Homo-oligomer: A and B are copies of this chain.
Amino acid sequence: MSSGLVLYGYWRSSAAYRVRIALNLKGLAWEGRPVHLVKDGGQQHAPDYAAMNPQQLVPSLRDGERVLTQSLAIMEYLDETRPEPPLLPADAEGRTRVRALAQLVACDIHPLGNLRVLQYLERELGADEARRGAWSRHWIAIGFAAMEAMLAGHAATGRYCHGDAPGLADACLVPQVYNARRWKLPLDDYPTIRRIDEACNALEAFRAAAPEAQVDAPVG
């Protein structure tokens, strides 16, 4: 039973990883189309892909005739067109809290550690691998310190970022924790983040969305 959903992504892209989690949480069937971000000078720059997504970034989601871009906009769309189970709470106060947590990751951490940014730091500013690593850890650490404070001290935090069902904020948090581990950022100072990450990764929806579970992940 195909829902006609096609996700253009890359195994290790945080933004694609988020959308995979959202699709899986909703129990939707989807077909993955790998876009290799390095091979061929970056397949996201190929004319066919650029025509579909002028930003030349992943992910893009095709839903029948519609092409959607931007991971947060895609997840909101999924929540509006396939409402169950919801990715956002029903009340305005809860919704803005979940969106703020998601955007803390998607606006204030992830864009700074993106591949194209690291490439610019190396090429134009001569930043070696050690400095690029320090840069990445710096922005994740600042963001996680704020997120830990927002989660640990709040009555609405439950097994997951908001209550006892996983949602939009969790779909953003888990890929960022994956990325933090890649950069070897110690996570000792973020016990609530670690606890929620562990609870999420106990779910099949998150495990099946993991980078290493994708067809385009390198073998071994």
Contacts and interface: CB of A to CB of B under 8 A. Distances in A.
Interface in A84-102: 92-93, 95-97, 99-100, 102
Contacts of A104: 55, 69-70
A17 B146 CA distance: 23
Nearest to A147: B54
A57 to B, nearest CB: 7
Interface stretch (A22-30, A116-124, A174-182, A208-216): A116-124
A33 interface: no
Nearest to A91: B80
Interface stretch (A105-113, A183-191, A195-203): A105-113
Contact of A73 (B73, B99, B110, B135): B99
A74 to B, nearest CB: 7
